[in-house]
Amino acid sequence: MARSRKKNFQLPKGMNDILPVEQPYWEKIRKTAQEVAANFGFSRIDTPIVEDLDLFIRGTGSSTDVVKKQMYILRSKGSQILALRPEATPGVVRAYIEHGLSSLPQPVKLWYLGPMFRYEQPQAGRLRQFYQFGAEIIGDQDPILDAQIIQLSFRFLQKLGLKKTSLQINSLGCPNCRPLFRRNLVDYYRSQRKKICLDCRRRLKENPLRLLDCKQEKCQPIIAQAPVLIDCLCNECRNHFKSVLEYLDELEIPYFLNHHLVRGLDYYTKTVFEIFPESESALAKRQTALGGGGRYDGLVKLLGGNETAAVGVSLGLERIINQMKVESIKATVRVKPSVSLIQLGDLAKRKVLKLFNEFQKAGIVVRESFSKGSIKAQLRIADRLKTRFSLILGQQEVIDETIIIRDMKTGIQETVPLVKVVKEVKKRLKK
């Protein structure tokens, strides 16, 4: 049977088009990210949006929801199995190892901005393709760097106008002290087994720490009574955490100690944190983190490098833009005053094409409507574009080698020699 020829294609579920009207927000975000990262001494890194699937299985963790349920997996023509990146940190660490960045003066400070992919159940604040701005400091274990990563995140949000955000912080300990906590947690949850959700029964077997991260209502009272990691920390982890908090005090960044904050990825050690908009209700808070991060001292080694400490953050850009809108923060791109080229007839058309080039070279923003014939239609477009001057080249002007400069505010027109027009316009734009 012949297939219907007419098909209305639609956006893939959970993904967005970023239309021109939204772009001012994105331009502002990109510019702010770049400025803040540079001011903090970070260099940009771009890694591919696909990586070897095993990188995420080993790096992000085989029992995490991100890897277990949310991976986009691609079977390419060769034997390699690739995955769309659900997060950037494993790719950045792979690049650090692969390109020998450990031979540079340490720590190496890197930032990235790009799309991530997670096969989530789409809902408000949860997309299948979303953008993150992230920063990583690789090659140093000093707790001051945990504080610096948080400072950078706050600086970024503040520069975007988001001043009312709150920080939740916890320590997940290290391979020395976490097993003791895990045992305590498992013992406690076994005693509560009948009361927990099905997912938590799975987590109890596979990834007990994530029990504390369950969003189901019925599990909340169990979480509230669960043992806390902070009681099991070894001296090194306790001191590290204490120092991070002291640095935050020094920076006057307020924080809430959230003993149940565990984060969704396996590699975290010691500090973990999340940043929320302050206005959200406690329940909504669980789903609207603007960003999060922490220390991952074991990841470089786990992915084949030397023992190397590291700390990082990633911030969700759609959620940040959404919050900017909630707080009525506008993003406007400053429009430079511009001139519109208006022509009548074939000869004039050829001349304005060349003139367009000359204005470009002089750094003046020029608008054109080359494909329009009538002067009236072109003036209407110039009006809509809010240009300062229109330059009108009609048949008579072509013969006289002149051009009309029309001030769009006053309507006053003046004829000047064509060869001098760039200079004349420059002079008027300066006034």
| 197 Cβ contact partners less than 8 Å away, ≥ 6 residues apart | 214, 216, 218, 219
CB of 44 to ligand AMP, least distance (A): 19
Position closest to ligand AMP via CB? 316
CB of 90 to ligand AMP, least distance (A): 12
If one asks whether residue 126 binds ligand AMP (CB under 6 A), the answer comes out as yes
CA distance 261 to 264: 9
**Nearest approach, Cβ of residue 237 and ligand AMP (Å):** 21
Q: Which of 58, 85, 109, 118 binds ligand AMP (CB under 6 A)?
A: 118
Q: Is 292 in the site for ligand AMP (CB under 6 A)?
A: yes
Verify cis geometry, omega within 30 degrees of 0, for the bond prior to 175: no
Q: How is residue 123 annotated by DSSP? A: B
Distance between CA atoms of residues 249 and 400, nearest Å: 73
Q: Does 289 bind ligand AMP (CB under 6 A)?
A: yes
Check binding of 92 to ligand AMP (CB under 6 A): no
Residue 111 to residue 42: CA distance in whole angstroms: 6
Does residue 291 bind ligand AMP (CB under 6 A)?
yes
Token pair in block for residue 358: 């000359």
321 binds ligand AMP (CB under 6 A): no
Q: Does 312 bind ligand AMP (CB under 6 A)?
A: no
Q: Where are the beta strands (DSSP E) in 260-350?
A: 269-277, 291-295, 310-316, 338-343
For ligand AMP, which residue of 29, 92, 110, 127 counts as binding (CB under 6 A)? 127
Beta carbon of residue 279, minimum distance to ligand AMP (angstroms, whole number)? 16
CB of 120 to ligand AMP, least distance (A): 5
For residue 28, state whether it binds ligand AMP (rule: CB under 6 A). no
Both tokens of residue 269?
Answer: 């050690």
Q: Is 277 in the site for ligand AMP (CB under 6 A)?
A: no
Q: At 388, is the secondary structure helix, strand, or coil?
A: coil
Binding residue count for ligand AMP, defined by CB under 6 A: 17
Helix (H, G, I), strand (E, B) or coil at 3: coil
Closest CA to 422 of 336, 344, 354: 354
**Closest C-alpha among 85, 185, 69, 79 to residue 129:** 85
Binding positions for ligand AMP, 41-70, rule CB under 6 A:
none
Q: Which is nearer to ligand AMP, 208 or 292 (CB)?
A: 292
Nearer to ligand AMP, 82 or 262 (CB): 262
By CB under 6 A, tell whether 290 contacts ligand AMP: yes
288 contacts 106 by C-beta, under 8 angstroms: no
Amino acid residing at 326: V
Contact between 270 and 297 (Cβ < 8 Å): yes
Q: Which two tokens stand for residue 364?
A: 């003046």
Query: Segment near ligand AMP (CB under 6 A), from 225-233, 252-260, 289-297, 348-356?
Result: 289-297
Alpha-carbon distance of 379 to 199, in angstroms, equals: 64
- We find the least distance from the C-beta atom of residue 84 to ligand AMP, in angstroms, to be 13
Residue 88 contacts residue 267 (beta carbons within 8 Å): no
Nearest approach, Cβ of residue 398 and ligand AMP (Å): 56
Smallest distance from the beta carbon of 315 to ligand AMP, in angstroms? 6
| Stretch of residues binding ligand AMP (CB under 6 A), selected from 125-133, 163-171, 228-236, 279-287 | 125-133
List of residues contacting ligand AMP (CB under 6 A): 87, 118, 120, 125-127, 130, 132, 264, 289-292, 314, 316, 318-319
